[in-house]
Amino acid sequence: MHSPMTRRSSLATTVAGAAAMTFVARAALRLPCIVLAAICSATASAGAGQGTTQPATPAASRSDEPLLERLSASKASEYLDTCRHVAENRCFACHGSYAYLLAAPIVSFRSPAHRETRSAMERSIETLPATEPNALNASDMRPVEAVMTAAVLAQNDAATTARLHPLTRKALDRMWEFQQADGGWKWAKLKAPPSEVDDHFGVTMAAIGAGIAPERYALTPKAQEGLKKVRGYLRDHPPPTMHNRAMLMLAAAHVEGLMTDEQRAQVKTDLFALQQHDGGWAMASLGNWKRSDGQPQDLISSDGYGTGFATYVLRSAAGIPAEDPRLRRAVAWIKTHQRASGCWFTRSPRKNDEFSTYAGTVYVVLALFSCGEIPSSVGSP
């Protein structure tokens, strides 16, 4: 077990000099990645509602909610703690509990909500039976839950204790049991971007989880075999959207052999090209997604998800200095667009604004931390 000061130092280390480090060493110095999704099933429900305090369901996110006068990390923490079960019914969701465990080490490490959510997810590991990957039908959510649970717990371990919890190791080992011969996982395709539209997202999430997991998990035989298949999948399946390309760059920050230097440079160039004049990014501009109501996407209005995600990727995976004028503009946008509830509003590229707003707020917290604007709550009294 590392001391609080050691954990704080590990979290606070920037990625500017990471090029000289091995991918295993780099993994423990980076914070995690999540995206919007609505992933839940009976498997997760066995653990999600036992012994936890169910927060009140938040009001629907509103684009006209008043802005705070100044940035408040405590309001962000309150929002994330309270709304972590948004649209969850005794299950886990990427826009809820999964997302929450990635931001909690920064703003809510010692809160009961963090402990409850972590414990519930650990219990869910025991209820996920293994199966032959080719025997899964299209509606089976076990591969999704296996990857998400393993990847999120591994990232939470790296950001808190810097030790691999035995249940996290078990979840990671089980994740590979659902991997298909082509290196991918059968993923949810519910037309809910950016994560429930293709298999690419699951592959990058698995790579991030295995690469960032403490205690050199990525060098274990199971991980080495699985990551070899991951490299093959990503070689044969180019990322279809800007969001997928940015996700791949996050994965490449933890696992070697996923991208070339030229590919990384092009992602940085293309992501900066989407930055708006006010310093932010629009979530919808990161993909080619369709809204369920048939309305056109808003590709130019900056929002929490787009700005938080792009800033976090550019800072933590691309190594852009926090002092870069383009990132300073992004941080300035973030500081002036927090809502009274503590969130950063995001119009969904599908239909549920509260989902994208919650996930976007998580990314904003990660972005602020990676840019040195807020400290980690790990090690604080």
Q: Is residue 361 part of a domain?
A: yes
Which of 35-49, 142-156, 269-283, 358-372 bottoms out in mean pLDDT, i.e. has the lowest? 35-49
Structural tokens at position 5 = 């000061």
The CATH number that applies at residue 84 is 1.50.10
Q: Is residue 107 part of a domain?
A: yes
- The rounded distance, in Å, linking the Cα atoms of 40 and 31 is 24
Residue 135: CB atoms within 10 A of its CB come to: 7
Q: Decide which of 328 and 380 is more confident.
A: 328
Over 60: is that where the pLDDT of 12 sits?
no
pLDDT confidence bin for 139, thresholds 50/70/90: low
Q: Is residue 380 part of a domain?
A: no
Q: Is residue 41 part of a domain?
A: yes
Q: How many folded domains does the chain comprise?
A: 1
Residues 6 or more apart whose CB falls under 8 angstroms from that of 82 comprise: 55, 56, 58, 113
Please report where in the chains the tokens 């991997």 appear, as a residue: 179
What average pLDDT does the chain have?
82
Q: Is residue 59 part of a domain?
A: no
pLDDT confidence bin for 30, thresholds 50/70/90: very low
- The rounded distance, in Å, linking the Cα atoms of 118 and 98 is 9
Which of 2-11, 13-22, 94-103, 353-362 bottoms out in mean pLDDT, i.e. has the lowest? 13-22
Q: Indicate the SS3 state at residue 339.
A: strand
Structural tokens at position 145 = 């839950």
pLDDT in tens, 79-88: 999 887 654 4
pLDDT confidence bin for 91, thresholds 50/70/90: low
pLDDT in tens, 286-300: 999 998 889 999 999
Q: Which domain holds residue 43?
A: 4-52+74-370
pLDDT in tens, 95-120: 568 889 999 999 988 889 899 999 98
Q: Decide which of 233 and 33 is more confident.
A: 233
Q: Is residue 68 part of a domain?
A: no
Q: Is residue 161 part of a domain?
A: yes
Over 50: is that where the pLDDT of 157 sits?
yes
Q: Is residue 149 part of a domain?
A: yes
- The rounded distance, in Å, linking the Cα atoms of 306 and 351 is 16
CA 292, distance to chain mean position in Å, is 24
What integer pLDDT is reported at residue 130 of this predicted model? 62
- The rounded distance, in Å, linking the Cα atoms of 314 and 375 is 19
Over 60: is that where the pLDDT of 65 sits?
yes
Give phi and psi for 228, each to the nearest 5: -65, -40
- The rounded distance, in Å, linking the Cα atoms of 266 and 253 is 15
Mean pLDDT value across residues 16-45? 34
What integer pLDDT is reported at residue 7 of this predicted model? 35
Is the CA virtual torsion 33, 183, 148, 105 positive or negative? Answer: negative
